[in-house]
Amino acid sequence: MSKNKDLPREKYSWLNRIGIKLLLYLGVFLLLVVSLLPVLDVFGRPFRIFLVSGSSTWIQHSTLWIALVGALLAAVQDKHLSIAATQFLDIGKRTKIISFLVSLGTTTILFALAKASYDLVYVQYDSPETIAGWFPIWLAQLTMPVGFIILSAIMLFKTPQSMRVKLFVFAVAILIIIGFMLVPAEQRYILTTPILIALVVVTFLGMPIFASLGGAGLLLFYAAEIPIAALPTETYRILTQPVLPSIPLFALAGTVLAHGGAPQRLVRFVQAWTSWLPGGAALATVIGCAIFTAITGASGVTILALGGLLLPILLAAQNEDKFGIGLLTASGSVGLLFPPSLPVILYGIYGFVAIDRLFLAGIVPGMLLVIILAMYSILKGKRVNREKQKFDLKELFQATWLVKGDLLLPLFIIVGLFGGLLTLVETAAVTAMWAIMLETVFHRKIKFTKGLASAMLESLVLVGALLIVLGLASGLVSYLVDEQIPLKATDWVKSTIQSKFVFLLILNLMLLIVGALMDIYSAIVVFVPLIVPMGMAFGIDTAHLGIIFLANLELGYLTPPVGMNLFFSSLRFEKPLLDIWKMVVPFLIIFILWVILITYLPQLTLFLPPLFGR
């Protein structure tokens, strides 16, 4: 994730005072639509009241619009996902050159995406398809070319270049696109390899991942003489999938809870239950991080939100500084297999696995990791010379009573989703609305005006940065599927590797590297369509394969050189990256053993789903 920098007010006052507010108001309105319509369906369905015509279609298209608005807000706050390997290099005076290349690449791709999206709208214009019988689909899709144009303007004018350079970038980008349009169809293949190499280079220089994936998809369709409108068509299709609204809804619930003091309540709750045990502070850290990561679906958010709360508690319990920071760095991703984790939902979409089954499959492996880390923490705690805290029954009741509303959230998911009473989107909507009610009405930690808007802004930025990657990667994945790349890769693997055991070993090693180099969301959309056919060819259950995939990416968060948790921890605790690497070594070993266990003992993953009829 690139570094967050506020825009200079005097230079972008028009953007701050008008544009950002309009985007925020629009985003808040869309989030409320996505939240309220499923809730109205849930409570109105038995009585046939409050039903909105075309409700599900409105919800799905609102997700598309949330993705675009969130992407614009993420651009303003400089929070789009990127690799930015330049942080490891001494670039010195080359900063301006790198900035120019990244800006030119991003602007050119966004202009091309706008052109491709316009082509889609043009084709769709005569279609009779509507939302709720009256709103034309082409009008809903028109937001895509408009959004890409605005996004290109924001990202171009935010660069630290002079206005002359920005105008030059604008002109060169237009000329490049015109040049591509003039290349004869039979000669386009010549451009494919050098431009793909250039895309990889500029990506490592800091170009946003969504632009890299979108650019690669456009180039491959272009070279194959397929209309480039195929890419926004796939983007539209994936971003309006029926289950996708659950992602912004669960993200909204997580950010509202984080802003409303849920981390503090959660820490107090787990402390009251564990502080009297040997290693109680460490045990509280593992459990608290697991719950919070599951709710937010983001490992780095857990480290940043809970790190400052839990490290002083660990140190007060006379744990060593290196153990405390290492434990927090490792625990940041512990809850990624528990509902309502966003990576699990995303894997289910791309791996074609029922999401409720995938959640059930992840519970036992997730609990196993919590237990292993808890046992290690208790053993470390026994070696610490400290006066044990007394069991405080009064504090336990008070802390539990305070957190009762938060503990209802998992209950909604268990009863609603796993009980078959609610769909995934309805479960997410009820969760989001309960989180808002909890923090604004019951705890009164957030005001309906400023506080709630701030939480919604954060969720919009998170969702926008995620969904634009998901949407544009879908075009690239579609091309790979059309060209039968997964099938060819599967045939090659089957002819090369005969043993299921060896395949799983190689898969683990490959995913470990992927997890160390990429964020979890980009890794899912790029690699899942490739490995699922391979796993099926070796008779591996799709849910088991999904848990193996996600577990390896959890491990990758801790793996040098660029494991994401390492950077978040270095930022949060103000320690050199090399020191953080040393601190996580014992936990890295634990994670490796855990991955091996769940890879070669499929019973751990497949035990629970049949009990729920999944």
* C-beta neighbour count of 460 within 10 angstroms: 29
Tell me the average pLDDT across 9-29: 71
Tell me the average pLDDT across 277-303: 75
Q: What is the pLDDT at residue 485? A: 85
Counting runs of H as helices and runs of E as strands, what totals does the chain give?
29, 2
> Model-level pTM?
0.86
Percent of the chain having pLDDT more than 90?
A: 39
Instruction: Kindly give the pairing relationship between strand 130-131 and strand 135-136.
Output: antiparallel
Give 365-422 pLDDT, tens digit per residue: 999 998 998 888 778 766 655 555 677 888 889 999 998 988 888 787 878 888 888 8
Cα–Cα distance between 178 and 488 in angstroms, integer? 35
Tell me the average pLDDT across 330-341: 84
Whole-Å CA distances, 549 to 336, 439, 514, 600: 12, 35, 10, 13
In which band, very low, low, confident or very high, does the pLDDT at 603 lie, cut at 50, 70 and 90?
Answer: very high
Q: What is the DSSP string of 236-290?
A: HHHHT-TTTTHHHHHHHHHHHHHHTTHHHHHHHHHHHHHTTSTTHHHHHHHHHHH
Decide which of 560 and 447 is more confident.
447
